[in-house]
Structure 1
């Protein structure tokens, strides 16, 4: 069982995994929030009902100067070097388990990449309070054990989150749980907010 991440927490992924970590998976899952109670929220978003919710996971690759060198998201499912792969865009949150996954082969991430920043954006624009059971998590990609998890549904009236940074430090991969909420339908709108964390 993984640890529940707290904002600002730093963990050694290798210590949590119990061994040298070679592959990780960022998983994102959610269900559309029930808005069948009538009332204010349903009216705001045009007639209530179970409007589709499309959360998107992205992985941003930065060099040691903080320059964005590549991006893995629904418009580019594999990094140019092939080390990071997105399983595809889920636009409804239907189904069990992770709705989207980004798989990272840490042994193949290019040497000039110092940090990977994982973000979640609500492409359909609703805030997280309307998204039921939303979470993002990091898994050991070798045995699929959960290393760490973040609950998104209690994040309130925000439509995006900078989840975590996975970065090289003294030859091992570590993770900084950022947990900073923001606004934006795609990762580009979060870039000014990400820069101070690099």
Structure 2
């Protein structure tokens, strides 16, 4: 069962994962192509290219590394993007980013997960768009955001995972933004570090 958080609320991922602690998380992003009725009947499909990104920050809020469609692996190898889906075709998660929390160097204090519409459609147009954070070990959903119908924005800062004394803590952000890549979101992200 997913942890239901409102914007700004936090949950300890150590407690959420049980006594063994959380070691691997996956951000999953899924969506469908846009289906439009044609002028003379029939349906026409429009591809949508959403992108999942994970940004790695130090304690001072300096961007250390990023994993996105142009860099599928972090420099330390602890964060891996499974590949860029350009259309939204298919079932389940269309893009995923897997993070081995135990392999992250101590300098990495925060991970921020974001979603962008590279092709520019906004979330009022995109069908069945969902992003979620999953415990990779057990497959349990830790957090879920329904993006479809959420507004005319083209991006969202999803969540922040922060290193603490007792392990990792997740904070729901859910802030709408606009931009085609994570670079466009950096000013919005800075407000949450």
Q: TM-score, normalised by structure 1?
A: 0.91
Q: Is the 8 A contact 1:5 1:150 kept in 2?
A: no
Cα RMSD after superposing both structures: 1.4
Gaps of 5+ in 2: none
Q: Which residue of 2 aligns with 1:26?
A: 27
* Equivalent residue in structure 1 for 2:64, among 69, 87, 96: 69
| Contact 1:140 1:146 (8 Å CA) reproduced | yes
With the length of structure 2 as denominator, give the TM-score of the two structures. 0.93
Q: CA deviation at 1:84?
A: 0.4
Aligned to 1:92: 87
Gaps of 5+ in 1: 39-47
Residues 13-53 of structure 1: CA deviation (Å, up to 9, x unaligned): 22222240000000000012323276xxxxxxxxx932110
Q: 2:157 aligns with which of 157, 162, 169?
A: 162
Aligned to 2:123: 128
Residue 58 in 1 paired to residue 53 in 2? yes
Deviations 1:70-113 (A, max 9, x none): 00000000000000000000011111111000000000011101
Structure 2 contact 30–130 (Cα < 8 Å) conserved: yes
Matched position secondary structure for 2:121: coil
